[in-house]
Structure 1
């Protein structure tokens, strides 16, 4: 087995349909949670709501910590702790990052939302989704390696006037737990990623102001 093949190994119970179901349930949770988050709410209160939504939807377990970031904390990477417990403003930005197990398979998705009408926050959130779509299309049409996907993503982000955080470069998912395969980051993967096994992550920063945006989804 090649090194690339080993990094894309799956368990006996894995199926693409099950991965897509986990993906759809994760997006359903994000949509429901985003409808509950309101200005004036603390980041910790939104996180508690997120756990409640996941439980009500019947997730089996959380496989990575639920992350909700408000304001300047949208610049934080997954492994960095939030600064304090900020309160969401009337004209603000936040993102939701959910990783939960459904039907024995790992769902993982994230998206950015805004309150009010700050034009640069609105533009940042929109640009993050646009860039994700561009990179996903590049993968689908050109069948390039993970390394090339993130080179292209950085190039496109700069052309759009945003800064891509290359400390966030995507990761494996599969039937739980994917971690046993030690696959590393998508952005370091030397082959074209196969369908239903990798999460493409895009995190942008505003070039001057202290906020950013995040979007991730399954390459399927």
Structure 2
């Protein structure tokens, strides 16, 4: 049976691959991006255009979209700025927390009536940084730790309403963000030692199809032999 699924950050990377996989299997995809142009050639039935750096804009965007029933939302969009605490500006902290934490929280709040109507599924694409933080990861890791807390609280609150909540913690997979992070860090990158974006997308799509009598609360994903993120000598 076809499902209605919203994917944030659908314009590229994992979000785009998710939109392609879900559409290919017959689902009705609501694709989020900051602009209509970002969704060109991305298969979708409906667009949700909003800048997650401005969470206050989401209420109007959701009202215009008129989503009454939603089988799943996949919170995929996110940003990362890699730098020591001494170089993490106030602007970067505010932007990172807005995009990675406040926007997913606000979007979930707005979509809960539609999710409850479908006894739907909320998937937060987190990160290994959401479990432990290292040097130069302060703002990003803090945001991802916060998203884990958001997911845990939401799971406890929405269990009686039949809404399932899953946190996925992928690490070292082949995306533009991973390449950008390694460039910021001055670290080497080897695609052969990273999980493919298609593998991560398949795993998330499969999570949406687990039997109704179970929920996967958390799932950690990493390649068999990841290349550590460390500055070149």
Using the size of structure 2 for normalisation, the TM-score is 0.24
Q: Which has the higher strand share?
A: 1
Using the size of structure 1 for normalisation, the TM-score is 0.25
Q: Give the structure, 1 or 2, with the largest relative contact order (CA under 8 Å, sep 6 or more).
A: 1
Q: Which has the higher helix share?
A: 2
